[in-house]
């Protein structure tokens, strides 16, 4: 027995409605396809190695670079963690400083919808981790290699314990010490997950500008729009 035409029409309408709902849900899940710049790698550091003037100085550097690129109306924060100091100064986690997202690079490419995706399947690659002017950042295979990006963070964006200090004195030292960096180009000498991490790959050999260069860095860091 064949279905009547009214029945077929109702089934077709129901299928069309279901398809539309599925498309809407998919769009909501994936988020907008493009948007204003909310993420960049600094085109330069302050010039004193990992001495960024603490979090306040690092944030101000992000804001200056963003302003020069025409994005100064947003509130910019450095993706940096700091360790606790005694009982009076608690640890600060990079993931808690940068707002809720979504974040796009200078060319409108989605980097992450939210904090969870940023610390999961994000869009940070050498092609997408651009500076504030939309330029690429040198990575492994380029001269000089500058893929070491200061973070002081664990893979989930949280701070390390105070000892040993892995933030170059909470971003105030340009001498002895060490800091955790990530690889913006997601490449390393090996293919282990830590070597491919964008935010928690290895330690620096020191905190000065020249020391950072020896492992492939230039004192650069990530900036995010927190609003």
Angle ∠(188,193,197) on CA atoms, nearest 5: 65
Q: Who's near 226: CB < 8 A, 6+ residues apart?
A: 74, 75, 76, 77, 97, 98, 99
By C-alpha distance, which of 226, 171, 159 is closest to 204? 171
pTM: 0.86
**Lookup: tokens for 168:** 């170059």
pLDDT in tens, the chain (227 residues): 444 444 434 434 444 444 343 333 333 344 567 999 999 999 999 999 999 999 999 999 999 999 999 999 999 999 999 999 988 899 999 999 999 999 999 999 999 999 999 999 999 999 999 999 999 999 999 999 999 999 999 999 999 999 999 999 999 999 999 999 999 999 998 888 889 999 999 999 999 999 999 999 999 999 999 99
């Amino acid at each position: 027995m064949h279905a009547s035409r009214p029945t077929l029409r109702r089934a077709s309408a129901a299928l069309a409605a279901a398809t539309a709902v599925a498309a809407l849900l998919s769009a909501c899940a994936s988020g907008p396809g493009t948007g204003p710049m909310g993420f960049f790698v600094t085109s330069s550091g302050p010039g004193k190695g990992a001495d960024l003037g603490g979090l306040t100085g690092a944030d101000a550097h992000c804001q200056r670079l963003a302003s020069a690129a025409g994005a100064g109306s947003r509130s910019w924060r450095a993706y940096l963690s700091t360790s606790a100091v005694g009982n009076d100064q608690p640890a600060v986690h990079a993931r808690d400083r940068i707002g809720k997202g979504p974040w796009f690079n200078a060319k409108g490419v989605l980097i992450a919808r939210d904090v969870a995706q940023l610390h999961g399947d994000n869009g940070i690659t050498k092609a997408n981790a651009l500076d504030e002017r939309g330029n690429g950042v040198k990575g492994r295979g380029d001269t000089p290699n500058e893929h070491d990006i200061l973070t002081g963070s664990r893979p989930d964006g949280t701070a390390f314990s105070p000892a040993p200090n892995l933030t170059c004195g909470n971003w105030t030292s340009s001498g002895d010490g060490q800091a955790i960096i990530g690889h913006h180009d997601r490449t390393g000498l090996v293919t282990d997950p830590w070597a491919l991490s964008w935010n928690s790959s290895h330690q620096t050999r020191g905190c000065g500008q020249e020391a950072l260069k020896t492992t492939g860095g230039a004192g650069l860091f990530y900036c995010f729009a927190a609003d």
